[in-house]
Structure 1
Amino acid sequence: MYKDLDLAILAGGGSTRMGLHKGNLTIEGKSFVDHIISTIGPLFANINVIDNGLQNTKVFGVNYYNDPLQISTKSSLLGVYSALYYSKNPQTFIIGCDTPLVNPKVVEYIISQRDKGDIVVPIANGRFQPLYGIYSKKILPRVKETLLQDLHKIKIILDEFNTYYIPEIELKKIDPDLEFIKNFNYFSDYQQYLKGIEN
């Protein structure tokens, strides 16, 4: 267990493309959120779920919160703000609930790189993956200021702070197919995944 590191799972978004709350979809008999908790939760001293009251199930010992900043736009940046706002430690591993195929070895590798920047995020499928990385709590005031300026692109913060991008090639050594970052944005993505594991 990393005693100086929080885990934050973002599950409070609008899920407009999915058409229903992603966090309550199931994988291996558990909701996406519960599956993430059971898979990597033991690595962390403190676990927070930002769910805005949307989760059907609650896990004992896990904290569930609403976004503390009441603004109309539900963005990834707001999720980062909420995660850091409730964090009890200097750094937080932040993950979206729509990437439930979480790989503990990948997470531990990302954690091993955490001293390389204020923000540490992986590159996967040729793109940076901001909701699968580590953020320092010291960026919290600037994130709030950015949101209150009605700016919601997370890249603004990544560019402003010392961000270390973990090369994709390093992650492929652990997870060759980059399954850890498989994202379920649409219900059809979820259905396709279920068909795949049935075959």
Structure 2
Amino acid sequence: MLEMTGIVLAGGKSSRMGKNKAFLEFDGKPLIEKNLAILETLFSEVLISSNTPELYKSYQEKVVQDRYSGSGPFGGLHACLEESRTEYAFFVACDIPILDPALIQYMASLTEGYECVVPRTEDGMHPLFSFYNKSCLPKIEDFLKVGHFKVIDLFPFLSVRYVEEKELARFGDPRLLMCNVNTPEEWSGFQNRFMENVKK
């Protein structure tokens, strides 16, 4: 078990999906339950980031609320890094349907000497499937105080180990591993791609 913290970011409004993405069912279980179960096998501490803790009161994991309201995922990064007991934390958005434990462990093995470990594909960077060190907090706070909430704009100011697409491909199709869903159409498209991948 990794002496790190695993965190599910479940604070989004899900406005484009029309319902809470954390409770979309995949393979018979809500996404958040599947993701929490995997994180529990990997990390010594697991947290949920959400400003609606009442939705997750049936889960054993502690729910952490933002200190900076209206700041999106950035607020969740900040609050959970402050709350976590460990130096490194792995953050994953609740709308990422596939968590590969081997990939997460590989990324954890790359953390030494870096403040962040971030996947990077032809679609761009994936800051909500990444590791962050507590040393990121001062810079995150600088951004929050001026109302700058775009996470990827933080990376030029930190030491980052990018995990490139060819590395990700060792663990499966990067399009599936890094997929997150925001609309019913994206959710349907993901499920179709997943089934096609299973048949290969």
Please give the TM-score of this superposition, normalised by the length of structure 1.
0.88
Distance, in Å, in 2 between the alignment partners of 1:92 and 1:170 is 21
- Whether the aligned pair in 1 keeps the contact of 2:11 and 2:72 (CA below 8 Å) is no
Task: Give 1:25 shift.
Answer: 1.2
Distance, in Å, in 2 between the alignment partners of 1:116 and 1:100 is 30
For residues 16-44 of structure 1, give each alpha carbon's deviation from its aligned partner in whole angstroms, at most 9, with x where no partner exists.
Answer: 22222111111122211111011232110
5 Å matches for 1:8-157?
8-53=7-52, 55=55, 58-60=58-60, 62-70=61-69, 72=70, 74-157=71-154
Please give the TM-score of this superposition, normalised by the length of structure 2.
0.88
Q: Is there any run of 5+ residues in structure 1 with no aligned partner, and where?
A: none
For residues 154-191 of structure 1, give each alpha carbon's deviation from its aligned partner in whole angstroms, at most 9, with x where no partner exists.
Answer: 12211101111111101101213542111111122223
Distance, in Å, in 2 between the alignment partners of 1:135 and 1:97 is 17
Distance, in Å, in 1 between the alignment partners of 2:95 and 2:106 is 20
Distance, in Å, in 2 between the alignment partners of 1:118 and 1:81 is 14
Task: Give 1:134 shift.
Answer: 0.5
Amino acid at match of 1:58: S
Task: Give 1:11 shift.
Answer: 0.4
- Whether the aligned pair in 2 keeps the contact of 1:50 and 1:65 (CA below 8 Å) is yes
- Check if 1:185 corresponds to 2:182: yes
For residues 57-116 of structure 1, give each alpha carbon's deviation from its aligned partner in whole angstroms, at most 9, with x where no partner exists.
Answer: 6322x111221223x3x4232221122122111110011111121111111111111114
Between the two proteins, the alignment pairs up a number of residues equal to 195
Amino acid at match of 2:6: L
Question: What is the identity percentage for the equivalent residue pairs of Structure 1 and Structure 2?
Answer: 23
Moved more, 174-183 or 41-50: 174-183
For residues 115-143 of structure 1, give each alpha carbon's deviation from its aligned partner in whole angstroms, at most 9, with x where no partner exists.
Answer: 14111101134411111111001111221
For 1:2, the equivalent position in structure 2 comes to 2
Distance, in Å, in 2 between the alignment partners of 1:67 and 1:49 is 11
- Whether the aligned pair in 1 keeps the contact of 2:10 and 2:50 (CA below 8 Å) is yes
Distance, in Å, in 2 between the alignment partners of 1:51 and 1:79 is 7
Distance, in Å, in 1 between the alignment partners of 2:120 and 2:192 is 28
Residues 38 and 151 of structure 1: is their aligned pair in 2 closer, same or farther, counting only changes over 3 Å? same
Q: Is there any run of 5+ residues in structure 2 with no aligned partner, and where?
A: none
SS where residue 114 of structure 1 aligns? coil
